Amino acid sequence: MDNSIIKLQAREILDSRGNPTVEVECTLACGVKARASVPSGASTGVHEAVELRDGDPKRFGGKGVKKAVAHVNETIAPQLIGQDARAQAGIDGMMIALDGTPNKAKLGANAILGVSLTVARAAATAADLPLYHYLGGPNAVRLPVPNMNILNGGVHARWQGADFQEFMVAPYGASSFREALEWGSEIYHALRTVLMDKGHRVGVGDEGGFAPEVSSNEEPLELIVQAIEKTGLKPGADVGIAMDPASSAFFEDGNYHLRTEKRTVSAGEMVDYYEKLIKTYPVVLLEDGLAEDDWEGWKILNARLGGIIELVGDDLFVTNVERINRGIREDVANAALIKLNQIGTLTETVAAVRMCKKAGWGAFVSHRSGETVDSFIADMTVALDTGHLKSGAPARGERVEKYNQLMRIEEELGDAACYAGKEAYVRAVRF
């Protein structure tokens, strides 16, 4: 079978927020066609690879991606025609070299990633293998714990609720992925009832979670515990809580400004606050507890809490092996968030996961707030055996498609499938 690329075609489509993004189709000589689309973040780190936007105020408020589309069709495609789609690392390397910048600013990470993902999917289809099996081999059988963002704050709630951006439930006590998803959905609907009973609004944020106006960053934890208990499940034993404060968004001049609580605190005082919350609530994972360049603060955070829960760096590491390697050397965390579009190619993403695993760290796969119905990260999570991922609330089609794909994978694996459970978290022994 001839797996050589004969056509790459990019186009501008809309993401879940109604903003343009890039979609790329790949055609192989054997007749196989595949398609992939690129997500976009609202809460983005300054060290992420560049998402190329047109900047034309007459189109989509400047957010058009015609330039990135043109880079695929006019620059990248001519260089990759004739290449074997199975040579993923070589193809990704060619695009990185063609761009020639350290952050993919010339061609755009959104252009490069669209090609990288569609080529991988085309190669899997040509091999007549599910994507997770093609990427991960025969040992790709572990289903992840879904961390569902059921209560939003920060930029995801337009700063009308909590300062902390995401409050997630992690149903790690379930016996299967399907049961975990069932529990998460039940908790989500129970939370809606809890909020309504307390007079809160139940509008949702970008990732499907409710966005109530709360009086503190602790109140969402209280509400979620009540929702878990309302379903008959046990907080801590059956279901844990994960938090993503996205603290870079409220970090300024060396301090953390908690608008909801009308106070400003230092990094050490933030760590004190997190320690109090962790002792009171079944928090199993804390992502971006401190700002993206507050390396000294992160050292304090990890020294105090790294032996208790999973501490995930997102904006701090941006799926970049150089930054993750620094984090390992300086002992500032024990896990990294994994986002394909932060770095821009599948090959570099795989390298980031492998580095985490080699160090004994967790690798926490994530969607973005601006998503599409592409379920690539669901297959990738199983393929790379990361054990946990977040894809938003169990609501909104672009979120649940990832969860639905994981149920399909679990069904396809049959008796070979296993559920990660508490072992997905590097410090899960706490519960």
Catalytic residue (choose from 25, 48, 51, 207): 207
Q: Which residue in this structure is represented by tokens 């962790």?
A: 278
Q: Which residue in this structure is represented by tokens 């393929």?
A: 383
Q: Determine phi and psi for 313, rounding to 5 degrees.
A: -95, 125
Q: Determine phi and psi for 300, rounding to 5 degrees.
A: -65, -45
Confidence (pLDDT) at 46: 81
Catalytic residue (choose from 339, 348, 398, 422): 339
Confidence (pLDDT) at 429: 45
Q: How much is the pTM?
A: 0.95
Residue numbers in the known binding site are 156, 165-166, 244, 287, 314, 339, 366-369, 390
* Sheet of 33-37, strands arranged across: 5-14, 20-28, 33-37
339 is catalytic: yes
Closest alpha carbon to 191 in 218, 210, 173: 210
pLDDT per position as a tens digit, 46-99: 889 999 999 999 999 999 999 999 999 999 999 999 999 999 999 999 999 999
- The three-point CA angle 210-230-180 to 5° equals 75
The ranges of the chain with pLDDT < 70 are 43-44, 156-160, 427-431
Q: Which long-range contacts (CB under 8 A, 24 or more apart) does 175-182 make?
A: 175/419, 176/143, 176/410, 176/417, 176/419, 177/143, 177/144, 177/146, 177/406, 177/407, 177/410, 177/417, 177/419, 178/407, 178/410, 180/145, 180/146, 180/419, 181/146, 181/394, 181/403, 181/406, 181/407
Residue numbers in the known binding site for substrate are 156, 166, 287, 314, 366-369, 390
Domains of the chain: 4-128 (3.30.390.10), 142-423 (3.20.20.120)
Amino acid at 100: G
207 is catalytic: yes
Report in angstroms the alpha-carbon separations of 33 from 12, 99, 138, 196.
18, 25, 24, 47
